[in-house]
Amino acid sequence: MPQQSGLAAQFQQYMENPLLWPILEVLRKQPSGWKVHTLASHLTEIEIMPLLDASPDKDLFKRNFLIMNALYQLQETLYPDNWLQVQAMDIILMPQSQVFGHEVDHHDPLRDYYLDWQNYEAEEGEIKRLLNEFWTRYREFVGGTDGKDMDRAKALKLFELPHDATHTEIRKTWRKLALKWHPDRDNGDSDRFRILCEAWNVLRH
């Protein structure tokens, strides 16, 4: 079955979870005291998290999956500058002074489960539509421009990448730049962050 795992890996490679960024904002403002369900409630209040399923049980499962997926992606994105403790009942964003002794465990079965989009119990097309909707909501949330003057060439120039950059290179650069200019960072810049969001919106497809 190597082909199946190859397809799964290819599918996952493109599934950037837009919840990384609103969750990062929430954790920067309040680094501890969060559980998955309280985080989900907060994201619903700020209108980032829509209803995911008509069935309450499935809705709960999907919310939990999406948040855990985002937390594990965020953990890897922030390391080694911060340590994000990912436990369903105790989520903590730790400063660099507390990173020592922690590292991303690439053999953690729970991490593997939540990073595998096939466990979301939906078709690839449905997941892509959902994540596109999340991204649209987040752009509106941060006050994104209409992006009309942004094209692929301009976006790559902003990212300082060649025209033949791979999607992996683009995503790594996006995360690095987003972290650098995120408004909640000491030297962040909300206008620059908004422009980078528009560039990523063009390049992520």
Q: Are residues 50 and 20 in the same domain?
A: yes
| CATH code: domain of residue 168 | 1.10.287.110
Distance separating alpha carbons of residues 84 and 31, to the nearest angstrom: 9
Q: Are residues 45 and 71 in the same domain?
A: yes
User: What crossing angle do the helices spanning 124-142 and 20-29 adopt, rounded to 10°?
Assistant: 50
Residue 160 has pLDDT above 50, yes or no: yes
Query: Are the CB atoms for 117 and 12 separated by under 8 Å?
Result: yes
Mean pLDDT of 33-46: 95
Query: Are the CB atoms for 111 and 50 separated by under 8 Å?
Result: no
Mean pLDDT of 46-69: 93
Residues 136-158: tens digit of each pLDDT? 889 888 887 666 788 999 999 99
Mean pLDDT of 113-127: 90
Q: Are residues 137 and 170 in the same domain?
A: no
Structure tokens at 170: 């683009």
Residues 93-109: tens digit of each pLDDT? 999 999 999 999 999 99
Domain's final residue, options 142, 158, 176? 142
pLDDT of residue 8: 57
Distance separating alpha carbons of residues 197 and 138, to the nearest angstrom: 9
Phi-psi region of 121 (alpha: psi -120 to 50; beta: other; left: phi over 0): left
Query: Are the CB atoms for 22 and 134 separated by under 8 Å?
Result: no
Q: Are residues 173 and 86 in the same domain?
A: no
| Structural domain count of the chain | 2
Q: Are residues 59 and 78 in the same domain?
A: yes
Residue 24 has pLDDT above 50, yes or no: yes
Question: Worst-scoring range by mean pLDDT, 24-28, 41-45, 140-144?
Answer: 140-144
Q: Which domain holds residue 158?
A: 146-204
Query: How is 180-191 classified by DSSP, letter by letter?
Result: HH-TTSTT--HH
Domain's final residue, options 91, 122, 142? 142
- Backbone phi and psi for residue 102, each to the nearest 5 degrees, phi listed first: -110, 145
Mean pLDDT of 113-142: 90
pLDDT of residue 9: 58
